[in-house]
Amino acid sequence: MRYAKCVIIPDDEGLHPLDRRIADHPDVTRELLHNVNLLADETIVALYRFSGKRTVLESILSESPMVNQYQLSSADGEHHAYIHLEAHDRLVGLLSMLREFEFIYDTPLEFTRRGGLRVTMIGDVKSFQAAVPDVPDGIRLKLLKTGRYEPNTDRLFSQLTARQQEILRTAVDMGYYDVPRAVTHDDIGEELGCTGGTVGGHLRKIESTILTQIVP
């Protein structure tokens, strides 16, 4: 089983009008695209993770004529949004291409700082080459690497919130998981500008998220 890790790079119009509007707003950040599916009527359902101001995000979603319906859930400054979108040629074309060439894309998909979407596509290596001419106008695929597909820790790490990722990186860098342990929660909190109790709470949530997925 082979994979191709790519960045989907849309032009200034974006992948979809709603996605472009959210990307352009300074008070909301697209973090992850947990899933996106093309329905039989060519409308689209997507599950996003955002950060930023919930009120701004709600305003964008409620006012957009491209949104059929949405549901929003928020915790710790992160917002998960289930969105049912109206059809749009560019995104419909991209998802149709992935389906035609029988690709499976590993989730979640990550947004890059420049507005691209990093995706790992799994399938027959010959199909990757054949699919390139069918990429819709206005979208470019930048191939990063190919190889044998084996699930790895990148997927687990990407499921953490941005704050959890920062705390985990800091804890590892400072030696919290060394044997013997080199620092305390308070030491990490001092580095990050928060309390030791906050660090401990985040680390417990991080460990729960990761360990429950790796223990058979």
Average pLDDT for 32-58: 93
Q: Are residues 135 and 162 in the same domain?
A: no
Question: Would you say residue 213 has pLDDT above 80?
Answer: no
Q: What is the pLDDT of residues 189-209, one digit of tens each?
A: 999 999 999 999 999 999 988
Q: Are residues 130 and 161 in the same domain?
A: no
For range 76-86, the mean pLDDT: 92
User: What's the rounded Cα separation, in Å, for the pair 149 and 121?
Assistant: 9
Cβ neighbours of 115 (radius 10 Å): 16
Could you tell me the maximum CA-CA distance found in the chain, to the nearest angstrom?
58
Q: How confident is the model at residue 215 (pLDDT cuts 50, 70, 90)?
A: low
What is residue 153's predicted lDDT score, i.e. its pLDDT?
55
| Structure tokens, 183 | 């620092």
Q: In which element (H, E) is residue 212 found?
A: helix 196-214
Same domain for 42 and 19?
yes
116 vs 45, higher pLDDT? 45
Its domain, for residue 174, covers 153-212
Final residue before a domain boundary, out of 132, 148, 164? 148
Closest CA to 21 of 72, 88, 94: 88
- Same domain for 187 and 128, yes or no, is no
For the chain, the domain total comes to 2
Least-confidence region, from 118-122, 155-159, 164-168, 182-186: 155-159
157-185 mean pLDDT:
89
Beta-strand ranges (E) seen in the chain are 2-10, 28-38, 44-52, 67-75, 78-85, 104-111, 117-123, 139-148
Return the closest-CA partner of residue 14 out of 135, 141, 98, 139: 139
pLDDT averaged over every residue in the chain: 87
Flag the least confident range among 4-13, 24-33, 141-150: 141-150
Q: Is the pLDDT of residue 155 over 70?
A: no
In this structure, the answer to whether residues 93 and 195 fall within a common structural domain is no
Same domain, residue pair 35 and 106: yes
Q: How confident is the model at residue 6 (pLDDT cuts 50, 70, 90)?
A: confident
Domain shared by 9 and 96, yes or no:
yes
What is the per-residue burial (b if ≥16 Cβ within 10 Å, else e) of 40-52? eeebbebbbbbbb
Using the 8-state DSSP alphabet, how is residue 27 labeled?
T
**Residue 64's pLDDT is what?**
95
Last residue of a domain, one of 131, 148, 165: 148
